[in-house]
């Protein structure tokens, strides 16, 4: 009954709309999975059709403990039709039909649930959400289901499924799985997977092994690995050695192995810190590089810089909304189109601000600071009025979700990798514009000597407006990237404004390479401090270090000769 | 000269008549102050509560007002600026002469207005879950105290159904609410046999956006072999990048469940929740609760805001309960005078939105049910656990030695917010 009411809520149109996409993907995946499983050559079935139906119906109880008993019974049976049922339950797609109490797997298409028979795998009807109740799962059940699926999947004909299963068995480290694992090892033909299986066996055999030789062999296998799990296995073994009364030579060997694993892991930890530092640096760089132009080159203390980033992020959101009807949400194209769009929108806003406010205030830094601060508040509240104060959701394209995971515990998330690459491209682009275009030349000329540039016929006012527009446009591009990792809210810009100034001041006002170096070094220092000092203290330390550095070198890492010297 | 005098008299007459008019109006309306940030960092959460109060006022007026008078909402914007909260509170009470104020979200804003309400003896309804360790005669706390949210949540994590967690990571934003809550939790966990080395505590600034290292640390902490769970008191904007990072680093709820105390339907609106299914939140209300009162409330909210995609959340329910309690108390007292209404508040009962009854206790906290919900892929919560009945809010936590002996009770013979002995 209770499930019913939930489903009613879930069915209401506004929710359905939000979730339709997710469900579609899930549904499609599920159907494929079922088709794949059922296409397999059938092995001897342990359950008769009737038994399978009956045992599945017993899943429809409230108590998790009872559900677990049924799941374990089903998994132990080894019927190939069990896996898709458990998989559907894990994904929250296993329902009970209220009319006849039949357990069915559902695939949701819009508001319609098609019912797939658990025995035949055929679609046997469809309904709205009111006529079916979900078999609920919680985290405990999910864990059990996953382990059960893993043991079932150890014998899957698909290599990828098998190797996934081995990883899960290794994570679970449940000695109860050992017999099944041994059976799987006997059958396995793939060399790499066999090695992983041996490793999984070793993690269990260490404590559960029968004699000293078996344990020592297990330690040998483990010592050659570098993963946090192995460290945990070894340290647990060492910690429990006294209580369990293991042989001294085994314990000594385990301690040695633990030491070498820990040594290698700490190297990887450092690699991880450097990577995360570079990643933070690339975000700082993106945020600051626009400011390096407006503040660094033009000398305008632009407090509205963060809002240009925000405008870029909102442009991304709008492009995605506008293209929503044509492209699937989270399409890479909407992001690709957002980059020039954000550049143009933020750049245009920048030019308007320069022409209407800033050009009257050149040479008066305090007034500029206050005026741009005011502009930033106006922009924030304008966005808040138009879009509302709540966050907007910018979908991540598929190639930006997920991560490359190394067994050593190092995780490189795709969105960060792309942002690092993107920041490099943006900086290279700016460097090229400054170095190789007529506009870049004029800009540098005006920066270095405004009056002389004017006398040789450069329209300095025009160049000022465009330079400010360029800086703002680049901030807009940064907004596209930041929309992938941060909130798209009216406050987005405030988060980055202080960091941006820090980077530009540290790197040396007016120097692009200084900004690059400044961003990355601040990022890396921050990430090395963070695990030691915590995020709050790390930030404070970095600020103090920066203040001290500025005392020593007031002009930052790279001092620039030019207008800054003039002033 | 004459003309000038005439003009002056005219202006004076105008002013007098204007004053008379406003006085007449004041007599006819009951003023309700709304003290929620409509700009700045907290606007994301607080704007919704302002709309909720406006909706409730609107509804009340449609049903004939209160004590035969029309109710008027006075909205001010403290702009997420804590000292400005105090100024705006003073403005509401002294200049606008409001009879009651609904407002504040962050604890620091509440701490900032507290002296103003006490000095001017006015009444504040505070609708957000908070750290406890406070009791003021002038504030009614309609959100959850730690024993109505945090304690049941860790109990659930340590239970079999919650995954029997043995290591706990306490992640929080660096301010008073997370620090106090985590202090209570640490002492509670120690009492439950979880030693300090199995507890990791970490604080981040407001709006923290780079969660890579911390999520990696949590992963490393969890790899020690004991079942690990995360208790998150991360507040506001920082949640979106945090959950994105969790999803991207592939932390699944069945491996490391995260239970959040400040993440509701509204906060999830900006995130793709498909990778987060199974992570948890503890509240006293979820939009997905099946109850007639809730269905009616959601319909009313959608009609008022004109947008079917807007969600409802726990602080909205707390505002709803607080507003209706105040209304009933005013009706019972027959006046909006603060002292009379306060006396009428004690024991006041209002149907909550989860099908039960909220009762105002003499310590100014409510009796509420505690619910634990799992994030679903549509951004809603599926309730996986709830208390049998309601839990009485406890202003002073029993798990901190210095506050365990304190009692908050504003009725005779105590009449005190933090006493060890009755006053009379």
Assign B4 a pLDDT band (cuts: 50, 70, 90). low
B125 and B159 fall within a common domain: no
Confidence check: pLDDT of B48 > 50: yes
Q: Map A122-158 to HEC letters.
A: CEEEEECHHHEEECCCCHHHHHHHHHHHHHHHCCCCC
Report CA Rg, chain B.
23
Q: What does the mean pLDDT of chain A come to?
A: 82
pLDDT digits (tens, 9 = 90+) for B322-358: 999 999 999 999 999 999 999 999 999 999 999 999 9
Q: Hunting for tokens 């943006």 — which residue is that?
A: A426
In whole angstroms, give the CA distance from residue B366 to residue B177: 19
* Both tokens assigned to A110: 């819009």
The closest CB to that of A403, out of B249, B378, B380, belongs to: B249
Contact yes or no for B210 and A283 at CB 8 A? yes
B209 has a pLDDT exceeding 90: no
Q: Of A263-272, A385-394, A506-515, B263-272, where does the model show the most confidence?
A: A263-272
Instruction: Give the whole-angstrom CA distance, residue B180 versus residue B132.
Output: 8
Residue B161 shares a structural domain with residue B112: no
pLDDT in tens, B308-317: 888 999 999 9
Give the residue on B whose Cα is nearest the Cα of A63: B161
Phi-psi region of B367 (alpha: psi -120 to 50; beta: other; left: phi over 0): beta
B81 backbone dihedrals φ, ψ, rounded to 5°: -115, 110
Is B180 inside a domain boundary?
yes
Instruction: Give Cα A496 to chain centroid, integer Å.
Output: 20
Min CA distance, A161 vs chain B (Å)?
18
- Whether B54 is covered by a domain: the verdict is yes
d(CA A331, CA A399): 9
Chain A closest-CA separation from residue B65 CA (Å) = 30
Pairs of CB atoms within 8 A across A/B: 201
Architecture of domain A268-566: Orthogonal Bundle (1.10)
Instruction: Report the side by side order of strands in the sheet with B280-283.
Output: B199-204, B167-173, B228-233, B258-260, B280-283, B371-375, B381-386
Q: Which of B171, B203, B248 to probe by mutation at the A interface, max A CB count within 10 Å? A: B248
**Residues of the domain holding B182:** 148-288+372-397
Query: Whose structure tokens read 């702009």?
Result: B79
Amino acid A45: pLDDT: 52
Distance in angstroms (rounded) separating the CA atoms of residues A269 and A263: 10
Q: What is the pLDDT of residue A160?
A: 84
A38: confidence class by pLDDT, cuts 50, 70, 90: very low
Domain count, chain B: 2
Is the confidence at residue B413, as pLDDT, over 50? yes
Interface of A with B in 334-393 (CB under 8 A): 380-381, 384, 388-393
Binned at pLDDT 50, 70 and 90, residue A422 comes out as very high
Indicate whether A563 pLDDT > 60. no
Which of A140, A396, A403 has its CB closest to that of B250?
A403
Cβ of B223 and A231 within 8 Å? yes
**Two tokens, residue A506:** 């540290």
Burial class (CB in 10 A: 0-12, 13-18, 19+), A334: buried
Specify whether B153 is located in the same domain as B95: no
Rounded distance, CA B272 to CA A391, Å?
12
Mean pLDDT of all residues in B275-297: 92
Taking the C-alpha atoms of residue B282 and residue B288, their distance in angstroms, rounded to an integer, is: 13
Residue A560: predicted pLDDT: 60
Q: Which of residues 524-543 of A touch B (CB under 8 A)?
A: 527, 530-531, 534-536, 539
**B237 plus B379 within the same structural domain:** yes
Which of A415, A488, A535 is closest, CB to CB, to B205?
Answer: A535
Question: Do the Cβ atoms of A535 and B271 come within 8 Å?
Answer: no
Average pLDDT over residues A85-95: 87
The separation between the first and the last C-alpha atoms of chain B, rounded to the nearest angstrom, is 67
In a domain, B16, yes or no: no
- Determine the residue among A18, A64, A111, A139 to mutate to test chain B binding: the one whose Cβ has the most chain B Cβ atoms within 10 Å: A139
Residue A6 touches chain B, beta carbons under 8 Å: yes
Q: B47, B212, B256: best mutation site toward chain A, by most A Cβ within 10 Å?
A: B212
Nearest to B122 by CA among B88, B83, B145: B88
User: Based on the domain organization, do B203 and B137 belong to the same domain?
Assistant: no
Let me know whether B170 and B128 are in one domain: no
Half-sphere exposure of A10 (CA within 13 A, CB side): 28
CATH number, residue B303: 3.40.50.2300
Nearest to A481 by CA among A561, A416, A549, A413: A416
DSSP B147: G
Is B384 found in the same domain as B279? yes
Six-digit token pair at A16? 């359905």
**Range in A36-40, B18-22, B250-254, B330-334 with the lowest mean pLDDT:** A36-40
Ramachandran class of A449: left when φ > 0, alpha when ψ lies in -120 to 50, beta otherwise:
beta
Measured between beta carbons, the chain A residues lying within 8 angstroms of B223 are: 228-229, 231-232, 409
Q: Is residue B79's pLDDT more than 70?
A: yes
pLDDT tens, residue by residue, A3-25: 443 333 333 444 444 444 444 44
Burial B245-265 (b: 16+ CB within 10 A, else e): bbbbbebbbbbbbbbbbbbbb
> Is B241 close to A494, i.e. CB distance below 8 A?
no
Which residues lie across from A106 on neighbouring strands? Answer: A115
Say if B176 falls within a structural domain.
yes
Query: What is the rounded average pLDDT of the residues B401-414?
Result: 87
Domain locations along chain A: 2-144, 157-246, 268-566
Average pLDDT of the residues in A398-423: 87
Q: Do A489 and B237 touch (CB under 8 A)?
A: yes
- CB-based contact B248 A415, cutoff 8 Å: yes
Q: Is the separation of the CB atoms in B70 and B95 below 8 Å?
A: no
According to the model, what pLDDT value does residue B3 have?
52
**Residue B402 forms part of a structural domain:** no
Q: What is the reported pTM?
A: 0.80
Give me A356's structure tokens: 């209407």
Per-range mean pLDDT, top range of A237-246, B134-143, B205-214: B134-143
CA distances from B221 to B51, B226, B229, B256 (A): 42, 9, 10, 10
What is the arithmetic mean of pLDDT over B96-121?
94
Q: Which of B41, B43, B206 to mutate to test the interface with A (most CBs of A within 10 A)?
A: B43
For residue B21, pLDDT over 80 is answered with: no
Distance (Å) from the alpha carbon of B263 to chain A's nearest alpha carbon: 13
Assigned token pair, A184: 């799987």
Per-residue pLDDT band for B6 (boundaries 50, 70, 90) equals low
* Count of other CB atoms within 10 angstroms of residue B15: 10
Phi-psi map region of B206: left, alpha, beta (phi>0 left; psi -120 to 50 alpha): beta
Q: Of the spans A182-191, A548-557, B177-186, which averages the highest pLDDT? A: B177-186
On chain B, the residues whose CB falls within 8 A of the CB of A490 are: 39, 43
Inter-chain CB proximity B270 and A527 less than 8 Å: no
B206: in domain: yes
Q: What pLDDT, on a 0 to 100 scale, did the predictor assign at position A403?
A: 85
Searching chain B, which residue's CA lies closest to the CA of residue A392? Answer: B270
Domain presence at residue B45: yes
Taking residues A60-74, what's their average pLDDT? Answer: 86
Task: Give the mean model confidence (pLDDT) for residues A224-231.
Answer: 81
- The more confidently predicted of residues A447 and A412 is A412
Give a yes or no: residue B332 inside a domain: yes
- For A174, which residue in chain B has the nearest alpha carbon? B225
Q: Quote the tokens at residue B319.
A: 């505002």
Closest Cβ–Cβ partner in A229, A232, A416 for B212: A416
Pick B308's closest partner by Cβ from A13, A280, A405. A13
Q: Quick one: closest CA in A to B201, which residue? A: A534
B385 HSE (CA, 13 A, CB side): 25
């Amino acid at each position: 009954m209770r499930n019913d009411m939930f489903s009613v809520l879930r069915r209401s149109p506004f929710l359905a709309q939000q979730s339709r996409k997710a469900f579609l993907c899930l549904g499609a995946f599920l159907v494929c999975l079922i088709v794949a499983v059922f296409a397999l050559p059938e092995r001897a079935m342990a359950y008769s059709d009737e038994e399978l139906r009956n045992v599945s119906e017993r899943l429809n109880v409230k108590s998790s403990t009872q559900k677990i008993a049924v799941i374990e019974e089903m998994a132990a049976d080894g019927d190939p039709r069990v896996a898709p049922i458990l998989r559907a339950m894990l994904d929250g797609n296993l329902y009970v039909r209220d009319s006849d109490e039949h357990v069915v797997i559902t695939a949701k298409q819009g508001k319609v649930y098609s019912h797939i028979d658990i025995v035949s795998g055929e679609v046997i009807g469809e309904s709205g959400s009111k006529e079916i109740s979900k078999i609920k799962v919680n985290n405990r059940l999910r864990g059990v289901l996953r382990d059960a699926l893993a043991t079932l999947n150890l014998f899957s004909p698909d290599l990828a499924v098998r190797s996934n299963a081995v990883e899960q068995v290794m994570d679970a480290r449940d000695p109860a799985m050992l017999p099944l694992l041994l059976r799987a090892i006997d059958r396995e033909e793939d060399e790499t997977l066999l090695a992983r299986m041996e490793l999984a066996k070793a993690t269990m055999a260490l404590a559960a092994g029968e004699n000293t030789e078996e344990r020592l062999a297990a330690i040998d296998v483990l010592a050659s690995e570098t993963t946090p799990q192995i460290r945990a296995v070894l340290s647990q073994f060492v910690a429990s050695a006294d209580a369990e009364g293991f042989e001294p030579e085994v314990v000594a060997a385990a301690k040695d192995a633990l030491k070498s694993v820990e040594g290698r892991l700490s190297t990887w930890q450092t690699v991880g810190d450097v990577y995360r530092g570079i990643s933070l640096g690339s975000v700082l760089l993106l945020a600051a590089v626009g400011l390096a132009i407006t503040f660094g080159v033009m000398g305008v203390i632009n407090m509205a810089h963060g809002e240009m980033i925000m405008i870029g992020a909102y442009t991304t959101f709008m492009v995605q909304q506008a293209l929503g009807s044509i492209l699937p949400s989270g399409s890479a194209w909407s992001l690709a189109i957002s980059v020039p769009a954000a550049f143009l929108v933020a750049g245009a806003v920048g030019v308007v601000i320069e022409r209407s406010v800033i050009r009257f205030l050149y040479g008066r830094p305090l007034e500029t600071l206050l005026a741009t601060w005011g502009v930033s508040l106006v922009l924030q509240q304008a966005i808040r009025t138009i879009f509302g104060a709540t966050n907007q959701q910018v979908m991540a394209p598929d190639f930006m979700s997920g991560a490359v995971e190394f067994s050593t515990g190092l995780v490189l998330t795709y969105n960060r990798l792309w942002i690092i690459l993107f920041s490099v491209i943006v900086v290279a682009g700016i460097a090229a514009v400054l170095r190789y275009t007529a506009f870049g030349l004029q800009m540098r000329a005006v920066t270095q000597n405004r009056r002389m540039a004017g006398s040789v016929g450069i329209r300095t006012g025009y160049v000022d407006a465009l330079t400010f527009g360029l800086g703002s446009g680049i901030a807009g591009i940064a907004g596209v990237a930041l929309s992938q990792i941060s909130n798209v809210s009216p406050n987005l810009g405030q988060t980055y404004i202080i960091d941006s100034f820090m980077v530009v001041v540290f790197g040396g006002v007016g120097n692009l390479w200084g900004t690059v170096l400044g961003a990355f070094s601040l990022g890396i220092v921050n990430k090395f401090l963070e695990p030691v000092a915590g995020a709050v203290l790390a930030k404070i330390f970095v600020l103090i270090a920066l203040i001290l550095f500025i005392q020593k070198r007031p002009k930052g890492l790279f001092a620039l000769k030019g207008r800054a010297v003039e002033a | 000269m004459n003309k000038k005098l005439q003009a002056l008299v005219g202006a004076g007459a105008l002013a007098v008549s204007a004053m008379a008019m406003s006085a007449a109006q004041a007599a006819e309306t009951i003023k309700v102050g709304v003290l929620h940030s409509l700009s700045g960092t907290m606007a994301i959460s607080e704007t919704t509560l302002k709309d909720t109060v406006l909706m409730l006022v609107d509804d009340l007026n449609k049903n004939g007002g209160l004590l035969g008078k029309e109710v008027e909402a006075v909205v001010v914007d403290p702009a997420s600026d804590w000292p400005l909260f105090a100024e705006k509170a003073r403005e509401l009470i002294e200049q606008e002469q409001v009879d009651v104020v609904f407002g504040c979200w962050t604890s620091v804003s509440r701490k900032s207005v507290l002296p103003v309400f006490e000095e001017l003896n006015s009444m504040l309804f505070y609708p957000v879950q908070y750290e406890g360790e406070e009791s003021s005669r002038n504030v009614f706390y309609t959100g959850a105290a730690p024993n109505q949210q945090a304690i049941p949540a860790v109990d659930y994590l340590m239970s079999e159904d919650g995954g029997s967690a043995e290591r706990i990571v306490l992640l929080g934003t660096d301010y008073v609410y997370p620090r106090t809550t985590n202090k209570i939790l640490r002492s509670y966990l120690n009492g439950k046999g979880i030693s300090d080395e199995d507890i990791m505590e970490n604080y981040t600034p407001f709006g923290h956006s780079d969660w890579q290292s911390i999520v990696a640390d949590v992963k490393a902490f969890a790899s020690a072999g004991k079942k690990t769970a995360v208790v998150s008191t991360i507040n506001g904007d920082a949640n979106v990048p945090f959950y994105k990072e969790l999803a991207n680093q592939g932390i699944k709820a069945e491996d490391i469940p995260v239970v959040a105390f400040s993440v509701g339907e509204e906060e999830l609106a900006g995130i793709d929740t498909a990778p987060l299914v199974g992570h948890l939140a503890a509240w006293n209300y979820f939009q997905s609760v099946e109850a007639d009162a809730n269905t009616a409330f959601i319909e009313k909210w959608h009609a008022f805001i004109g947008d079917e995609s807007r969600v409802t959340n726990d602080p909205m329910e707390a505002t709803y309960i607080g507003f209706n309690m105040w209304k009933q108390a005013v009706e019972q007292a027959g006046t909006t005078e603060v002292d009379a209404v306060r006396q009428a508040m004690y024991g006041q009962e209002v149907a909550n939105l989860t099908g039960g009854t909220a009762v105002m206790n003499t310590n100014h906290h409510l009796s509420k049910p505690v619910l634990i919900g799992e994030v679903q892929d549509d951004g809603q919560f599926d309730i996986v656990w709830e208390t049998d009945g309601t839990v009485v809010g406890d202003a002073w936590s029993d798990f901190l030695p210095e506050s365990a002996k304190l009692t908050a009770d504003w009725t005779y013979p105590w009449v005190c917010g933090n006493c060890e002995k009755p006053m009379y």
